[in-house]
Amino acid sequence: MSHIVTLIGRRLVLSFFILTLTSLIVFLGTEVLPGDALTATIPAEELAFYTEEQLALMRADLGLDRSMPVRFFEVWQNLFSFDFGQTLLRREPVLARIIHPMINSAIMAGMALVVMLAIVIALGILASLKPGGRLDNAISSVTLFTYSMPDFVVSNIFVIVFSVWLGIVPAVIFAPTNAPKLTILAAAVLPVIALCVHGAAYQFRLLRAGMVEALNSDYVERARLAGIPTWRIATRHALPSAVIPMLNGTATFVAGLLAGSVVVEAVFKFPGAGGELLRAISQREIPTIQAIAFLAAMAVVVANLIADLAVLALDPRVRTSLENA
């Protein structure tokens, strides 16, 4: 038990450095861009009428005249205390600005994760029952094709097929960020499927390989000789061990959701954190960019930690190796 606690402690320390490094990289990434938050939001024709003294006073009022380390340290403190500060221009709390978009993106990502796991488990079991058979070859071929399709291609194809040709759903989503969650759930159906197309293909290949190996093991052969039905062997005996190699891939899928959701939200105009992030980047709202990037990185860290704990719970070999370390 102490080894498990030590492992978790190490992961938490590593997570602290990862989140700090993420904050620093995002901060430096916004600093190297030309201009600043003030010049990015004032139109060029209007900017010509301001004197250098007026611009200097406005920058001082926004806190942009301070040195880079001082500004980063202040943002870093805000991030780790979950007090994300205020937006530079409107002087409104960053958390109030991003809370609804973040919740909407979390709803979409959660739905995508559940749908992806359901699809992958169903296809993985079906394909592994007869490896090399027609069904296995058909599923493997389709998933290999979908794995090669980027999220923006899938999203645009969905818009063309389901909106333009069939007229089943609107081409863009007009729901505000603070819309009722049932409305957000209904609006997220097509974006969720678009996110699952690429991720499910990769997870399927991991699960199929694990299922084939598990079904060829000695304990599964003994279960067959005992007269246990094939479907029960696959779901009760092979699946728990086959899902272990897929867990780390699932954590990677969560990380991919954060990148893919920005593209998918932009195509479908989904009222999520992706659109808010793009707006913040265009306006050089460093606190907002840092807050969204920080929360996204934290989601990846938590997903990896949960995956590691799940492996510990499901695989006794990992627990034994930790105890003997």
Q: Domain locations in the chain?
A: 1-89+286-325, 101-282
Joined tokens for residue 160? 């063309």
- Distance CA(169)–CA(279), nearest Å, equals 26
- Distance CA(116)–CA(198), nearest Å, equals 10
Helices (H) and strands (E) in the chain, counts: 17, 0
**Cβ 94 vs Cβ 170: under 8 Å:** no
Amino acid residing at 140: S
Spell out a b/e string for 155-182, using b for 16 or more CB atoms within 10 Å of the CB, else e. Answer: beebbeebbeeeeebeeebebebebeee
Helix (H, G, I), strand (E, B) or coil at 86: strand
CA 4, 110, 82, 286 dihedral sign is: positive
**189-215 and 244-268 helices, crossing angle to 10°:** 160
Helix (H, G, I), strand (E, B) or coil at 93: strand
Q: What is the dihedral of CA 185, 188, 190, 195, to 10 degrees?
A: -130
Write out the chain's pLDDT in tens, 325 residues: 566 777 778 888 888 898 899 888 888 887 776 666 667 666 667 777 777 788 788 777 777 777 788 888 887 888 888 888 888 767 788 888 899 999 998 888 889 888 988 999 999 988 888 888 889 899 988 888 888 888 888 888 888 888 888 878 777 777 788 888 888 888 888 888 888 887 788 888 888 888 888 888 887 888 888 888 888 888 887 888 788 778 777 777 777 777 778 888 888 888 888 888 888 887 777 788 888 888 888 888 888 888 777 777 776 666 666 666 5
Kindly give, in sequence order, each residue whose CB lies less than 8 Å from that of residue 55, ignoring residues fewer than 6 positions away.
Answer: 38
Q: How many C-beta atoms surround the C-beta of residue 297 within 10 A?
A: 22
* HSE-up (13 A, CA, CB side) for residue 321: 7
Joined tokens for residue 232? 């029960």
User: For residue 316, what pLDDT is reported?
Assistant: 67
User: For residue 193, what pLDDT is reported?
Assistant: 87
The DSSP code for 228 is -
Give 85: exposed, middle or buried? Use CB within 10 Å, 0-12, 13-18, 19+. buried
User: For residue 253, what pLDDT is reported?
Assistant: 77
- Distance CA(96)–CA(65), nearest Å, equals 26
* HSE-up (13 A, CA, CB side) for residue 4: 13
- Distance CA(289)–CA(28), nearest Å, equals 12
The DSSP code for 283 is T
The DSSP code for 89 is T
Joined tokens for residue 263? 């593209």
Domain 101-282, CATH: 1.10.3720.10
